Structure 1
C-alpha cells in the first residue's frame, strides 16, 4: 500500500491511500472481449424484443390502419380527398408492415437508447454514469421531436409542392407503398438528425472534439448538411432538401453549445 500527503480543508495534513481514489476517477469496470460480446448480445436481444413487441401491436389491423390514415394526412393538406392507389396484391400488406415498423421503432426508442447506454456504462466513471438517465430521456424526446417536425412541417410543405407541381398536365396517382416509403424515410431521417446535439455533446464529453473546433468547422457542417440531405432524401426538389438540411444545421450549432457546456472552450 502506498500513501501520500495532502492538506485537508482544516489545514492539517492527511494521508491519501490507494483505497481512497477521488470520486471523479472511480475505476472503470474491466471486461474481457468475450464479456463484451455477451453483453452486446444481451443488449441487442432486448432491443429486438422491444421493437418486435411494439411493431406487433401496430400490425393489428384496427390499430395499423388508423396509423396509415395518419400517414396520409400530410398529403391531404393539399387535397382532402387524395387517396393513393394499390397496384399489386401485396401492396396493402407491405404498406402495413412498413408503417408498423416505423411506429415500432419510435415506440421502442427509449428502450433502444437505454440498452445502448447500458452497453457503454462499464466504460464510464461514476460521475459519467449520472448522465445515463438524462441521455435516455433527452434522446427519446429528441427522436420524437424529429418525427413530429417531419410530420407537421416538412412533409406537408414538401408534399404540397410535389402534388401541385405540373398538375395542369399530369394527374397524381401515387402508389401507396411508394408514398409510405417517402413518408417513413423522411420521418426516420429527421428523427435521427434530431439526435445530432446529443451525439456532438457525447463526442465533446469524451474529448474527441471541442466546441472551438466544432465552431471552426461551421462551413463544412453547412455543406455536409446539404450534401447529406441531397443523398438521403428520396426526391431531388430543393424544397424538401432545404427543409431537411435547415434543421440539421441548427441542431449542429445547438450541439456546439452543449459541447461548450460540458467541456468549456478547451
Structure 2
C-alpha cells in the first residue's frame, strides 16, 4: 500500500497523474487548489516546450534538410543578414510545439478529467486520441502530397521564364502554414462526432448534404491553402470531402 502511494506521488509530482488522483470523484477541490494545479501543469508544459525547442535548435540543420526535401531543384538564398538564423528559430519553435503538443494535450486532459462523469470520460478519451491521430495524418498528408504538388506546380509554371531562387524564410512560412492548416482541417470528423453525439444533426442528414459539402470543401480548400494553384486545392478539397463522408458514416454507425 505504501509503495503504491509513493509511486502515485512520484507521477503526480511530474505532472503525469491528476493531483486529485486519489479522490477523483469524491472530493471537491478548493479554488486555490485548482489554481495551484493549473500553475504546476502550465509550468510543466512550458519547461517541456522549451526543452524540446532547444533540442530542435541544436539539431536544426537536419530539420532544415527535412523541410527542404520537397523542394527538388530549388536553390535557397538569404536576402537579408540573419534571415537564416531567424528562420531557424522559427523552425525550432514550430517543431518544438508540434513534438510537445501530445504531452501538452495530455496535461490538459489530466486537468479536466477529475471533474467529468464516467460517461463523459468514455467519450472524451477516444475523442482526444482520434483528434491527435487525425492531426498527425493531416501533417503527413500535407508534407508528402500537398507541399510537393504545390511546389511542382509553381516550379513548372515559370520554368521557361524564370530560374527558381527562393527565400528560405518565405519558403518555410509557406510550408509551415500549409502543414498546420491541413492538420487543423483534418479535425472535420471530430466536429461531426460532437454535433452528432449532441443530437444536433444525424449521420443520415450529413450524408444527404454531400452536394453542398462539395461546394463548401472547394471554398475551404481555396481559403486554407496558402497557394493559389489548382492542384493543391483539388487535393485539399478531395481530402475534406472524404473526411466529411467518413465522419458522417461514423455518426451513422454510432447511433445504431
Q: What band does the TM-score fall into relative to the shorter chain?
A: 0.7 to 0.9
Say whether 1:215 aligns with 2:210: no
Q: Which has the larger radius of gyration?
A: 1
**1:118 offset after TM fit, Å?**
3.9
Q: Distance in 2 between matches of 1:37 and 1:255?
A: 37
Q: Distance in 1 between matches of 2:191 and 2:111?
A: 16
Say whether 1:198 aligns with 2:194: no
**1:164 offset after TM fit, Å?**
1.3
Gaps of 5+ in 2: 1-24
Residue 87 of structure 2: aligned partner: 95
Say whether 1:65 aligns with 2:61: yes
Structure 1 residue corresponding to 2:159, chosen from 156, 167, 170: 167
Q: Distance in 2 between matches of 1:242 and 1:69?
A: 27
Structure 1 residue corresponding to 2:149, chosen from 153, 157, 180: 157
**1:261 offset after TM fit, Å?**
2.9
Q: Distance in 2 between matches of 1:236 and 1:127?
A: 45
Are the aligned partners of 1:29 and 1:122 in contact in 2 as well (CA < 8 Å)? no
Residue 106 of structure 1: aligned partner: 98
Q: After alignment, is 204-213 or 88-97 more displaced?
A: 204-213
Gaps of 5+ in 1: 1-26
| TM-score for both structures, normalised by structure 1 | 0.75
5 Å-filtered alignment, 1:170-185, equals 170-185=162-177
The structure whose residues are more often helix, as a share, is 2
